[in-house]
Amino acid sequence: MSQSVVPATGEERRQAEAKAAKEQAKAQEQQQPKELDALHTEHGDTSIADTVVAKIAGIAAREVPGVFAMGNAARRAINQLAQRIPGGQTNVSGGVSVEKGERQTAIEIAIVVDYGVSIVNVADQIRENVINAVEYGTGLEVVGVNVNVTDVHLPEDDDDADTGSSSSEGLR
């Protein structure tokens, strides 16, 4: 009895060729040196958490004149409750969401502006401030900063809050 070899079908040959091409590409990739930058050096890699980027962006956005508050109404209410807890910290990343890769990040910021300011100018200043702060602080490239204006703070809102707190103080 002789052993006969069954020839490979066309599909089997294509699969074998594709597998060989993948292995060759993988071998070439391993031979090429790793792309180095500020976060990826020959001595090791630095990883930065999303929360770090969000905090830096939140602080940078708050520094811009005309920004009354960060986030939407629900987020601000939760933050006010959290600040009343003894030992609670200010949430500087409220109203900030981040999508981050190894070398780049995109940031979305929700704000409340003061009445009478130019929303366009405030948004441009936020973008500039956030890009500078995040790129300097983390080494990540900021590919975009989207600014969502969720509300306008009116001067009458302060008057209502003042009268409400003073009347409740009288009841104590």
Considering only residues 58 and 94, tell me which one the structure prediction assigns the higher pLDDT.
58
Give the chain's radius of gyration (CA, Å). 27
Q: What angle do CA 150, 156, 159 make, to 5 degrees?
A: 120
Where is 96: in which H helix or E strand? strand 96-100
The CATH number for 46-171, chosen from 3.20.20.140, 3.30.70.1350, 2.30.30.30, 1.20.58.220, is 3.30.70.1350
Percent share of the chain, pLDDT over 90: 45
How many alpha carbons lie under 13 Å from residue 121 in its C-beta half-sphere? 6
**pLDDT tens-digit readout, 74-102:** 666 666 666 666 766 667 778 899 999 98
**pLDDT tens-digit readout, 110-160:** 999 999 999 999 999 999 999 999 999 999 999 999 999 999 999 887 765
Instruction: Name the average pLDDT for the chain.
Output: 82
Q: How many helices (H) and strands (E) does the chain have?
A: 5, 6
Split at pLDDT 50, 70, 90, the class of 169 is very low
Select from 126, 152, 142, 132 the least CA-distant residue to 61. Answer: 126
Considering only residues 72 and 70, tell me which one the structure prediction assigns the higher pLDDT.
70
Per domain, the residue ranges of the chain are 46-171
Distances (CA, A) of 165 to 29, 81, 154, 160: 66, 16, 18, 9
